[in-house]
């Protein structure tokens, strides 16, 4: 175990996340309990899976009462994709049946919320990591590996170095809709990479999907082999495709619009995007506008802007009136309609501007 431990806290109570973080980070550097910790947190199973896919994690502190999973679902889901991961269960229940169920499902240890000290927490973390390492070193035996494969919720294949399928689990049979003897002995026809996860497109007679592929090298009947785990990400990809189409539709509407339009960072007031109509109206290039703050084109004091905003609220108007200046210092009276949009998981303000001709 290195002197740096990467910890993922999966807990929907921010107060408890804060408590654990403080317990770990406030240990004096000269203490025998001191380790360097890199702590990440997630408030639901979906967020935890995202953190795991993008960060090295040595141990997980897992609350069983998450908003998007019941009972042992979160534990089983994580271990199905990360069978070598040490997981410490946190529970406020203190129920022996829950604790035993978690331990029997692959948890390394358990902690009762509010009943453990910093010393106990660190001992649990260190021992769980070491126990899991010892377990992983023995996982190459045939019986242990077979149990791991058979109980996994994800489709799993064992293939040899010639890509011939040696064994599969029930999940793979169900996933591909074929009999076991139709797969074993045949060539595994999809890409895999021992060093990193990859994505593949599955095209079978009765199966079209997108899957994430993880591969580890193992010993199978005393010979080198590969254990391949598939994680179906079809729904996630379809959702991403739909979001991409929505973004493309908005960008087309934005860029082709004959009205003056801006996308504004609501916190910094910076112009994130300007359309060609805005460029023509103000006399700046789009690149120049996108390196400016929106206040740079105002021809009003801050007090005047605030006063007009208050007037619009009091008069229940859906627009505000401002005075802007062009590159040539021409003063323009404009009417601004504001709204906000979630664009690639970022909330931005959009401004639609009309020139007012008195």
DSSP structure string for 291-324: TSBGGGGB-S-HHHHHHHHHHHHHTT-SEEEEEE
Domain boundaries, the chain: 4-137, 142-232, 237-355
DSSP state, 193?
-
Cα–Cα distance, 283 to 83 (Å, whole number): 60
Q: What is the pLDDT of residue 1?
A: 42
Confirm if 9 and 20 have CB atoms less than 8 A apart: yes
Q: What is the pLDDT of residue 352?
A: 94
Cα separation values, 357 from 143, 332, 336, Å: 83, 9, 14
Cα–Cα distance, 142 to 165 (Å, whole number): 16
Q: In the structure encoding, which two tokens stand for residue 23, read together? A: 């317990």
CATH fold match for the domains 142-232 and 237-355: yes
Cα separation values, 276 from 228, 252, 261, 264, Å: 50, 12, 9, 16
Residue in this structure with the two tokens 């139709």, named with its chain if needed: 182
Dihedral class, residue 252 (left if φ above 0, else alpha if ψ from -120 to 50, else beta): alpha
Quickly name the fold that domain 4-137 has.
Answer: Rossmann fold (3.40.50)
How big is the CA angle at 102 (ends 96 and 104), to the nearest 5 degrees?
Answer: 100
Alpha helices of the chain — where are they, by DSSP H? 14-25, 45-54, 73-81, 96-104, 118-137, 142-150, 170-176, 180-183, 234-256, 276-282, 286-289, 302-314
Q: Which of 37, 108, 45, 133 is nearest to 81 (CA)?
A: 45
Q: Point out the residues of the chain with pLDDT beneath 70.
A: 1-3, 93-95, 136-148, 206, 239-240, 242-243, 344-345, 358
Cα–Cα distance, 343 to 247 (Å, whole number): 7
Q: In the structure encoding, which two tokens stand for residue 17, read together? A: 């996340």
pLDDT tens digits, 63-94: 988 999 887 899 999 998 998 899 999 887 55
Quickly name the fold that domain 237-355 has.
Answer: Beta-Lactamase (3.30.450)
Strand partners for 63: 90
pTM: 0.43
Strand partners for 157: 168, 228
Q: What is the pLDDT of residue 147?
A: 67
What are the backbone dihedrals phi and psi of residue 84, each rounded to the nearest 5 degrees, phi first?
-90, 0
Q: In the structure encoding, which two tokens stand for residue 343, read together? A: 């664009």
Cα separation values, 22 from 19, 57, 298, Å: 5, 19, 46
Q: Write the CATH number of the domain with boundaries 142-232.
A: 3.30.450.20
Confirm if 110 and 93 have CB atoms less than 8 A apart: no
Cα separation values, 257 from 98, 252, 291, Å: 59, 8, 21
DSSP per-residue string spanning 77-130: HHHHH-TT--EEEEESS--HHHHHHHHHTT--EEEETTS--HHHHHHHHHHHHH
Q: What is the pLDDT of residue 310?
A: 92
Long-range contacts from 273-278, C-beta under 8 angstroms, 24+ separation: 278/353
């Amino acid at each position: 175990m290195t002197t740096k431990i990467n910890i993922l806290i999966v807990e929907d109570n921010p107060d408890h996340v804060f408590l654990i973080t403080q317990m770990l980070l406030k240990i004096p550097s000269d203490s025998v309990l001191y380790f360097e910790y890199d702590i990440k947190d997630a408030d639901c199973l979906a967020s935890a899976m995202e953190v795991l896919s993008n960060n090295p994690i040595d141990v997980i502190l897992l609350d069983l009462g998450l908003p998007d999973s019941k009972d042992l679902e979160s534990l089983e889901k994580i271990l199905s994709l990360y069978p070598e991961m040490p997981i410490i269960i946190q529970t406020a229940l203190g129920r022996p049946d829950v604790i035993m169920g978690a331990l029997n499902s692959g948890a390394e240890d358990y902690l009762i919320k509010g009943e453990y000290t910093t010393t106990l927490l660190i001992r649990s973390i260190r021992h769980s990591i070491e126990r899991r390492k010892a377990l992983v070193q023995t996982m190459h035996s045939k019986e242990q590996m077979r149990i791991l494969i058979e109980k996994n919720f994800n489709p799993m294949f064992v293939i040899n170095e010639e890509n011939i399928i040696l064994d599969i689990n029930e999940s793979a049979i169900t996933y591909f809709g074929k009999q076991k003897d139709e797969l074993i002995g045949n060539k595994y026809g999809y890409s895999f990479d021992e060093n990193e996860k990859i994505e593949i497109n599955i095209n079978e007679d009765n199966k079209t999907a997108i899957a994430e592929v993880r591969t580890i090298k193992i010993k199978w009947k005393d010979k080198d082999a590969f254990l391949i785990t598939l994680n179906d990400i079809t729904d996630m990809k379809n959702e991403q495709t739909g979001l991409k189409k929505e973004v493309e539709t908005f960008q087309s509407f934005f860029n082709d619009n004959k009205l003056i339009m801006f996308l504004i960072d609501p916190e910094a007031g910076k112009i994130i995007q300007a359309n060609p109509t805005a460029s023509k109206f103000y006399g700046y290039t789009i690149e120049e506008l996108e390196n400016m703050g929106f206040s740079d084109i105002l021809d009003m004091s801050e007090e005047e802007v605030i006063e007009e905003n208050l007037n619009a609220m009091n008069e229940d108007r859906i627009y505000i009136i401002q005075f802007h200046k062009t590159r040539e210092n021409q003063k323009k009276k404009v009417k601004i309609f504001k709204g906000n949009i979630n664009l690639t998981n970022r909330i931005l303000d959009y401004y639609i501007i009309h020139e007012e001709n008195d």
